[in-house]
Amino acid sequence: MGKDNSANHKKRNVKHPLKQCHSGENRNPCLSLSYEKSRGNLDTGFRRYDKADVDKSVKAGSSAPAGFLDRDGTVIFDKNYLSSPDRVKVYTGAAESINKLRKAGFKIIIVTNQSGIARGMITEKELAAVNKRFISLLKKQGASIDGLYYCPHIDEDNCSCRKPKTGMVMRAAKEHNIDLSKSYTVGDHIRDYMLGSNMGGKGLFVLTGHGKGQQKKLKKEKIQPFAVCKTIKQAAEKILKDNGK
């Protein structure tokens, strides 16, 4: 999620999420809007977990690799604090890329920083509507995801979930039996690459969204992602090739 540079965005009187919810471990929990298969449909709803909830959600069986995808600027066009479902537009090739990864055995998890909530630019209700539209558009193109997690905080909140911190991927690993060491992150920000490194997997950087601007920072700071790709389609191809598929 990039900084708001639109004159149309005005800060609203929205309650800060940290003041609305409480975790048994701390007052800075990661929120998730988790889309999971339930009775053949995608069940949408806000779920707040504390540490005990996460631990209880571990499932039996072997762990699978995952593709942790950023939302804005990676799978859909970044519209700066997107609050209207009508403005959601999926990148060409994104649905196809998701399908290829899922067929290769990867679970697809969306992990997205949504600081617009803490900033009062968007509400949780608006975010839910946007995500519902996002999921619907993917479905129309024959693609589906295994989960979606978001962080509503800003850096100053010092939460454990805002990328590049690993709160969201750690929760997803517990809830979806994911092997993080065999997993990848894909996004248009340095934060996305760093997330991949921090979780013990590999991070890929795409040049869509804020990618070209962020690429200058990559070079300046001499950061070397696993791969720099033009689009999510190329990123998916790199991941499959890295796995001999």
**Joined tokens for residue 11:** 């800060």
**Joined tokens for residue 189:** 């920000």
What is the C-alpha separation between 35 and 159, in angstroms, rounded?
22
Whether residue 70 lies in the annotated active site: yes
Task: Tell me the one-letter amino acid at 209.
Answer: G
The continuous run of DSSP H or E covering 152 comes out as none
Torsion, Cα 10 12 16 20, to 10 degrees, reads -150
Catalytic residue among 70, 78, 146, 157: 70
Whether the link from the prior residue into 164 is cis, omega within 30° of 0, is: yes
Say how many residues make up the chain: 245
Catalytic residue among 72, 78, 157, 192: 72
> In Å, what is the CA distance from 39 to each residue of 36, 43, 73, 102?
10, 9, 31, 20
> In Å, what is the CA distance from 32 to each residue of 45, 62, 86, 164, 232?
9, 24, 22, 16, 23
Sheet holding 66-69, edge to edge: 147-151, 107-113, 66-69, 184-187, 202-206, 227-229
What is the SS3 assignment for 229?
A: strand
Query: Whose CA is closest to 225, among 189, 180, 179?
Result: 189
Whether residue 4 lies in the annotated active site: no
- Give me the active site residues, please: 70, 72
